[in-house]
Structure 1
Amino acid sequence: MFDGRNSGNSSFSSRGDGRNTPEHELAVHGMNPASSSHGTRRGKQNRTSDMEVMKERFAKLLLGEDMSGGGEGVTSALALSNAITNLADSMFGEHMKLQPMYPETKEIWRKEMNWLLSVVDHIVQFVPSRQMAKNGTFTEIMVTKQRDDLLMNIPALRKLDSVLLETLDNFKDQKDFWYVPREVEDTEKNGDWRRDENWWLPVVKVPSDGLSEESRRLLQNQKDSVAQVLKAATAINASVLSEMRIPDDYIDSLPKNGKTSLGDFLYKSITEENFDPDYFFSFLDLSTEYKVLDLKNRIEASMVIWKRKMNQKEKDGKSQWGSTVSLEKRELFEVRAETILVMLKQQFPGIPQSSLEISKIKNNKDVGQAILESYSRVIESLASKIMSRVEDVLEADILVQRQMMGEAEVRSESEAESAFSSEYEETEKVAAAETPNSRKLSDFIGWRLSSDTKKHSSMSDIEFFHKVEQEKPMMKSPRALPKKFSYLSKLENMRSPSDRH
């Protein structure tokens, strides 16, 4: 836990070097008294500077952020809430990488948070107790005790805060990923980096062969740890907001019924007999932050309307807004709307504050609730940011792995084709070696390739035969060849025995 009052991080417990060390002890330990006095002066200067900063912080709180002193400032609760929010924004607003906070920044965060949280030590409640008198009798008296919600939630929030800072410290010596400015990355790819949704964030890079197994386990473990912190901080924030009173100005701005607030489509989807929240979300367009926030505002407004109608009927038996829906159905609709709201916050943890939440925080006068709400909201925002950065690294690793798998598939396909081609050539060679006396068509016909026709040996026998036949000169024989008679013609010339007689 980062409570500086006992850990030495607070300005109240810091001391100068060698403040109470005698000169002879300094000489024995090899220390120079002059350097000790210099450290003492430096420690005093630090304490003086811390006191001045603390005076300035609490002066703004007492004046309600109205430095003119004219009484136009905000309430103490809202001033404390704004102070915690502004401090967190100045400490973590520019923290865009998975890397430890600077030691000076971490020290300022812990020190000034201790100042602001010191208020809760004086928010008490009276509880009955028994005190024993000198004569042995017991007397019931009222004693002060820190308020229960603060006693339970402030230590829990301090622990969650410490876990997040330790998570950032765990990435101190990592070298498996690094960051490149987005404008440099998109310039290399000839892109317009300002069109990206997160154009202000640097681009995470991983090695060409991806992250090591150890780095993947570290990132996944840190993501799981931060997810638990986010869940706990969200629960505390939602609990505190639910206890805050709904301002009258917000109620006056609501329509008369939940159907008008939700719209026809949302109202029909929530009030149908078979309601499935996952099926309900599948039909919604939540592509932009504005659409998500608009849905959140509509759901919360309808819940407030239904709750007020049920409370009014329980008190007076009649609602001033009128109603055509039974209490049982309205209670069922409220449960469904609350389920949608919880799923919406889980799916979009970094969603901005709704109109109802802003109105509650602005009009809240309970200092304890203001501190709990702002502190839990700051931790919720930081946890969401860290988880998003971890997911960016894991996503970059997945992209590299997919690229490697694609290259491996292309390489395996080319190797398979090469192996098939080599196997085919080997088969041809084996077949030629097994039939050495095989002859071509020209051998059966009786051709003998001369030196003039050897150049045509690359042709097939049939093609060469046709070509030779076409190129033969049409010449007549210089002398008549002797006439040859066939066997049939000889038979025709022979006379029968009757003719001879």
Structure 2
Amino acid sequence: MVRAAEEEQNESPGSSGGECTTNNDNKSSEMEMMKEKFGKLLLGEDMSGGGKGVSSAMALSNAITNLAASVFGEQSRLEPMPPERQARWRREMDWLLSVTDYIVEFVPSKQNTNGVDMEVMVTRQRSDLHMNIPALRKLDAMLICVGEQECLDNFKGDHEFTYASKNDNEAKSMKKREEDKWWLPTPKVPPDGLSDATRKWLQFQKDSVHQVLKAALAINAQILMEMEVPESYTETLPKNGRASLGDFIYKSITDEHFDPDHFLSTMDMTTDHKIVDLKNRIEASVVIWKRKMTAKMSAKDGKSSWSSGVSLEKREQFGDRAETMLLILKQRYPGIPQTILEISKIEHNRDVGHAVLESYSRILESLAHKVLSRIEDIQHADALTQSPSSSSRSLKMNSIRDSVRLSTSGKY
């Protein structure tokens, strides 16, 4: 029987033998890719081996960011991600996230040895990683993988909306939702617009992805808040919050009756550059006020260069208002570039766990924002068929920036 089985296998080398060879080749290729990726991480991206590379945290953050850019960079339509790109994303993210399995902390545990109860210290994954890595994996799956209700795979098959080709004359004459989106494919809907069922289904998808965006934003904001402020950043700050904010913003935040919504309505938020500039000013003032509070509590002689005459209670109140404004801006204006403080924290961070959580949540936030923007493009095309004259008003009501709101308490 054994000889017969061997003869049968030799007679059909193209089936099982070919498959085994292919599987072995795939495994060998994956192993080489993994060796190369982890080799670059260990070298800190310094391929000369001279030890001049970046820290492990920065190298891992860059690896996750670059992987996301290569996988999601071509996602310009509402359509499922190709299976090979999905497989690559899952495989390489598993490699990179495997590092967090070995970031542990000691916790007490009771054990019974020979009838005697003893409390010993055992290791387990660090608490922030143990809580946030599964949450981020879930958000990842909700956006990408097959089988979930809120993901790109829901856009497979035939839908009432399509995308115009480059040579489509009708698409060329169609007004774009934003002038700076000229490189994106133009969505097309039926002449009389989408059906009510499709509109409701599209809005449901948007609401679902919106929840993913809010969760990713919350995790990213929390991790950035936990990162230490680099000394190189504080050295560039002025000595008081008024100099950082300017007279108008300072008076608004320190006024007895402060209304965040009213304050934002008075600011020019027409471009991403102006929004980032406002965030930079507010973040700098928060750091300055916290440094002054710490200096006032710790300085025995009261002559610290960071101390001032403002009471601790007032300064804490100003800091809370400023942090509330930062949370509102982050939620209301997703997708804008990072601030100077955020970039500085990421560059100087040495905590590998924080680096993984920050980069993973940031790329999921970016992908969710991209999907929401693509959905809005279709909704805008549908609005043009209904009432072209009021499309701009409809867009404003349905835009991401106006739909993503945060309460003035600053709590998620």
By the TM > 0.5 criterion, same fold? yes
Is 1:74 aligned to residue 54 of structure 2? Answer: yes
Aligned to 2:148: none
- The higher-RCO structure (CA 8 Å, 6+ apart) is 2
Contact 2:295 2:307 in 1 (8 A): no
Residues in 1 aligned to 2:309 and 2:249: alpha-carbon distance in whole angstroms? 18
Shift of 1:49: 0.3
Residues in 1 aligned to 2:288 and 2:135: alpha-carbon distance in whole angstroms? 33
Aligned to 2:408: none
Letter in 2 for 1:340: M
Residues in 2 aligned to 1:53 and 1:129: alpha-carbon distance in whole angstroms? 39
Aligned to 2:310: 325
Contact 1:26 1:33 in 2 (8 A): no
Is 1:175 aligned to residue 159 of structure 2? Answer: yes
Aligned to 2:394: none
Shift of 1:320: 2.1
Contact 1:299 1:341 in 2 (8 A): yes
Contact 1:182 1:200 in 2 (8 A): no
Residues 1:283 and 1:181: Cα distance change in structure 2 (over 3 Å): farther
Residues in 1 aligned to 2:330 and 2:241: alpha-carbon distance in whole angstroms? 21
State the identity as a percent.
58
Please, which runs of 5 or more residues in structure 2 have no aligned partner?
A: 146-150, 392-412
Shift of 1:244: 0.7
Letter in 1 for 2:102: H
Is 1:383 aligned to residue 329 of structure 2? Answer: no
Greater C-alpha Rg: 1
Shift of 1:207: 0.7
Shift of 1:130: 2.4
Residues in 2 aligned to 1:213 and 1:338: alpha-carbon distance in whole angstroms? 41
Other structure's SS at 2:155 match: coil
Other structure's SS at 1:385 match: helix
Aligned to 2:330: 345
Aligned to 2:219: 236
Aligned to 1:489: none
- After TM superposition, the score normalised by the length of structure 2 is 0.87
Deviates more, 1:118-127 or 1:78-87: 118-127
What RMSD over aligned residues (CA atoms) do the two structures have, in Å? 2.6
Shift of 1:121: 0.7
Residues in 1 aligned to 2:167 and 2:244: alpha-carbon distance in whole angstroms? 43
Aligned to 1:220: 203
Residues 1:106 and 1:22: Cα distance change in structure 2 (over 3 Å): farther
Q: Deviations over 1:77-131 (max 9, x none)?
A: 0000000000000011121110000010000000000000000111111112222
Aligned to 1:261: 244
Please, which runs of 5 or more residues in structure 1 have no aligned partner?
A: 1-20, 407-501
Residues in 1 aligned to 2:390 and 2:307: alpha-carbon distance in whole angstroms? 64
Letter in 2 for 1:234: L
Shift of 1:294: 0.5
Aligned to 2:339: 354
Residues in 2 aligned to 1:151 and 1:305: alpha-carbon distance in whole angstroms? 33
Letter in 1 for 2:192: D
Residues in 2 aligned to 1:188 and 1:366: alpha-carbon distance in whole angstroms? 50
Aligned to 1:430: none
- Aligned residue among 257, 280, 288 for 1:274: 257
- After TM superposition, the score normalised by the length of structure 1 is 0.72
Equivalences for residues 57-456 of structure 1 within 5 A: 57-133=37-113, 135-166=114-145, 167-180=151-164, 188-189=172-173, 196-316=179-299, 318=302, 319-403=304-388
Residues 1:26 and 1:218: Cα distance change in structure 2 (over 3 Å): farther
